Amino acid sequence: MVRTEIQLFLENVPGELGKLATLLGEKGVNIDAMTIQDASAYVKELFKARGKSLKRIAPAASYGSMQKDSADFALIRLLVDHTDKAIDLLSKSGYIFDIMPVIALEIENKPGMLAQMAKQFGKEGINIHYVYGSAMPGDQKSLFVFCPEDIEVAARIFKD
């Protein structure tokens, strides 16, 4: 199913994730899925892509500064149960964020299920930019979030 992922940068210091989670939790917004990574990995991939296929959008000095500064931030991607409410809360609290359509699939928690999903993307010629997911041991279902290159085609494939 197509869901809206919220992407934001948090300062990479103790307590920031707690502030974000408290903001959402106190207003009744549940985090369904989340991934956190050092923003420098994200920025390095951006630089790599810019070098291969895209024009520079900033002077070389700015890229160096961005790469150095990015280690001070974490890239957070999350799905929540009340997206509009979360967006409103984040806006009012001064967070800078973006939204991205993703495919969230609840799959059986057994060996080979992720392989089946990934093969289906490949069979349809859809590149997966990133994926994250998890399940508790013993649970019957897993939740995996895919960011495909072509969201419309992926949505048709996995509409159930």
pLDDT digits (tens, 9 = 90+) for 14-53: 999 999 999 999 999 999 999 998 776 665 565 555 554 4
Tell me the C-alpha distance between 129 and 147, whole Å.
5
Structure tokens given for 104 = 């969230």
pLDDT reading at 57 higher than 60:
no
Tell me the C-alpha distance between 107 and 95, whole Å.
32
Q: Pick the more confident residue, 47 or 147.
A: 147
Q: What does the pLDDT read at residue 160? A: 55
Average pLDDT for 127-137:
91
pTM for the model stands at 0.78
Average pLDDT, the chain: 84
Domains of the chain, CATH where assigned: 2-157 (3.30.2130.10)
How distant, in Å, are the alpha carbons of 5, 12, 66, 135, 160 from that of 83? 8, 24, 29, 22, 21
Tell me the C-alpha distance between 83 and 67, whole Å.
30
Tell me the C-alpha distance between 45 and 50, whole Å.
9
